[in-house]
Amino acid sequence: MARALAAPAGRDMGGHGLRDWWQMAKPRLNLLVLMTALAGYALASGSGPRASLAPFALGVWLLAASAAMLNMWMEREGDALMERTRDRPLAAGRLKPRAVLWVGLAVSLAALLLLAQSAGMACAGLGLATWASYLLVYTPLKRVTPLALLVGAVPGALPPVMGWMAGGGSLDSGALALFCFLFLWQIPHFLSIAALYGEDYRKAGIKVLGLELGPNAAGRGMVLYAAALLPVAVWFRGLGLGGPWSLLMTLALTFAFMAAALWAAMRPSRRSARGLLLASVSYQPLFLLALILGK
């Protein structure tokens, strides 16, 4: 924090400025968000009109980027206290907070207008709900209760539903299945992150569910939420999303994910937590890809 407060007023452009603004958008993380939205779009087979893919994809990415900017604006002081985030542009004092706030809000508005134009008001409204629940509910709750993890899993599970609606679907059982898949997947994913960086989060005053539960209870949570993905895989097949080959692949992937969660639960260590984290970021896109290829 002292580093951030002692830094000069900040700069908007020049030097590292463009790279700093790009970093504020969290491009790699938000590429994963975009991929889930595109998976929902690809899987949708509703009777409604399909949105133009390129403007919809750009709208989703810009909305996620704006949420990342504003999240870092809200958490800049806490970020300066954590080893893994202290070099972020705002925490390190390389960008001005006021500039980030106004750019973040402007990008948010542009993203919502683009979604409304390309995919309709319902999809844009869902995007606004995703944005608002992440920034206005989840972000402040992280310093109030460790159960914020479950709240934060809601906006994290909405992008594929947006894609489903943009692809011509409605808020039906297919949208619910996609929501449940992303919601359940996030819990072992973030518990693995807590096992790796929980103490760092605690320094910043963030309530971490994995630390509050303790390693044994957190391990059980990893396994139970991973196991809950098995009936979801079967549910997709019952909805006609993917064929028999897809069902075999999604079940095999889920058993592998469960094995990684079981390893992290039975042998809690940085190595097993990192293994579960790597398994989670591989499992999610492969699961969705199996559904798409089997459609």
pLDDT in tens, 123-179: 999 999 999 999 999 999 988 888 888 999 999 999 999 999 999 988 899 999 999
pLDDT digits (tens, 9 = 90+) for 88-120: 888 888 999 999 999 999 999 999 999 999 999
Each as own residue / partner, the long-range contacts of residues 124-131 (CB below 8 Å, 24 or more positions apart, any chain) are 126/158, 126/161, 126/162, 126/165, 127/59, 127/60, 127/63, 127/162, 129/155, 129/158, 130/63, 130/67, 130/155, 130/158, 130/159, 130/162, 131/63, 131/66, 131/67, 131/155
Q: How confident is the model at residue 197 (pLDDT cuts 50, 70, 90)?
A: confident
pLDDT exceeds 80 at position 15: no
List, in order of start, the domains of the chain with CATH numbers. Answer: 11-147 (1.10.357.140), 172-295 (1.20.120)
pLDDT of residue 4: 36
- For residue 14, report the phi and psi dihedrals to the nearest 5 degrees: 90, 150
* 42-69: average pLDDT: 90
Q: Average pLDDT of the chain?
A: 88
Q: How confident is the model at residue 82 (pLDDT cuts 50, 70, 90)?
A: confident
pLDDT exceeds 60 at position 13: no
pLDDT exceeds 60 at position 2: no
Which of these ranges, 67-81, 176-190, 280-294, has the smallest mean pLDDT?
67-81
pLDDT digits (tens, 9 = 90+) for 240-264: 988 889 999 999 999 999 999 999 9
Question: Percent of the chain at pLDDT above 90?
Answer: 65
pLDDT of residue 278: 96
- For the entire predicted model, the pTM comes to 0.88
